[in-house]
Amino acid sequence: MTKLQPSREVFITCAVTGAGSTTDKSDKIPVTPQEIADSCIASAKAGAAVVHIHVRDPKTGAPARDPALYKEVMDNIRESQVDMVLNFTAGMGGDMVFGSAEAPLPLSDEGTDMVGATERLEHVRNLLPEICTIDCGTMNFGEGDYVMTNTPAVLREMAKQVQALGVRPEIECFDTGHLQLAMWLKENGWIDDPVMIQLCMGIPWGAPDDLHTLMAMTANVPNDWTFSAFSIGRNQLPYAALAILAGGNIRVGLEDNIYLDRGVLATNEQLVERAVQTATGMGVRVMGPEEVREKMQLQKRWG
């Protein structure tokens, strides 16, 4: 298991937009494919080696999983000739919203989006990014009736399909049991070395982002796995330092936090710049995209 030794070099992932209802809270959230691509490009220029990409309905800002939108984002990034590792979410399509506390069924039409493993991976299969994320587990999410739904059978099928595509999965662990599911996938040969995981801290009702919980999570990450860690909200930027001290890599971005300072709305590139400052101020070297490709044995198919 991982010994808690500080990282000497790190890569930064920028999660540029996410699927949350943040567009009414900040006018800096990228929505259209062009805006998302432009934000990825700016983040890469600021020091992010990896960009984590969701797409949104260009008219409403609502979360979407239309492969055509992903293609437009990818094409715009390619045209820029700015190098970065592309990481597409595969989390969409596992959203279940119950009717109410007294009448949970039928499920609510607003927010429920449940499809099979193959459909959830359509954009990954069509476009072959270097990395795609797999949310490793089911959990209550927030204070309403929404449940993020990823059964072991679905996780197994998604992992096997991603493996066959030659895309590197990044396993998203929101709680301690999710880490055990990731180990189960690896032990059964459904994900390959080098294993890449993300510790997603501070999301209700997953693992809280206190230091003891982070240490418990990192202490159980196998020593030969590569992990990043982040927290949502006000602790996102402090977690850049905590991730380094725990021996991991950094994730920042507007998916998880919309502020640069108290009351000051951020752009993605500003959050990346702040993470770079934190890392370099701690004597840590920030890796570029080609170094990440070599480290994680990624299959670059463009550029």
Task: List beta partners, residue 9.
Answer: 285
pLDDT of residue 3: 56
pLDDT in tens, the chain (303 residues): 445 789 999 999 999 999 988 999 999 999 999 999 999 999 999 999 999 999 999 999 999 999 999 999 999 999 999 999 999 999 999 999 999 999 999 999 988 999 999 999 999 999 999 999 999 999 998 878 999 999 999 999 999 999 999 999 999 999 999 999 999 999 999 999 999 999 999 999 999 999 999 999 999 999 999 999 999 999 999 999 999 999 999 999 999 999 999 999 999 999 999 999 999 999 999 999 999 999 999 987 765
At 303 the pLDDT is: 54
- Which residue in 12, 87, 77, 38 sits closest to 250, CA to CA? 12
- The pLDDT assigned to 300 comes to 76
CB 178 within 8 A of CB 137: yes
Hey, what CATH topology would domain 9-296 get?
Answer: TIM Barrel (3.20.20)
Task: Kindly give the pairing relationship between strand 94-97 and strand 146-148.
Answer: antiparallel
What tokens appear for 219 in the block?
């202490």
What burial letters (b/e) apply to 183-206, b meaning 16+ CB within 10 Å? bebbeeebbeeebbbbbbbbbeeb
The tokens of 99 are what? 């009717």
Q: What is the pLDDT of residue 302?
A: 63
The residues, ordered by sequence, that sit 6+ positions from 148 with a Cβ below 8 Å of its Cβ are: 91, 94, 95, 96, 135, 137, 138, 139, 141, 174
- Three-state DSSP state, 160: helix
Would you call 191 helix, strand, or coil by DSSP? coil
Domain boundaries, the chain: 9-296
Cβ atoms within 10 Å, residue 62: 13
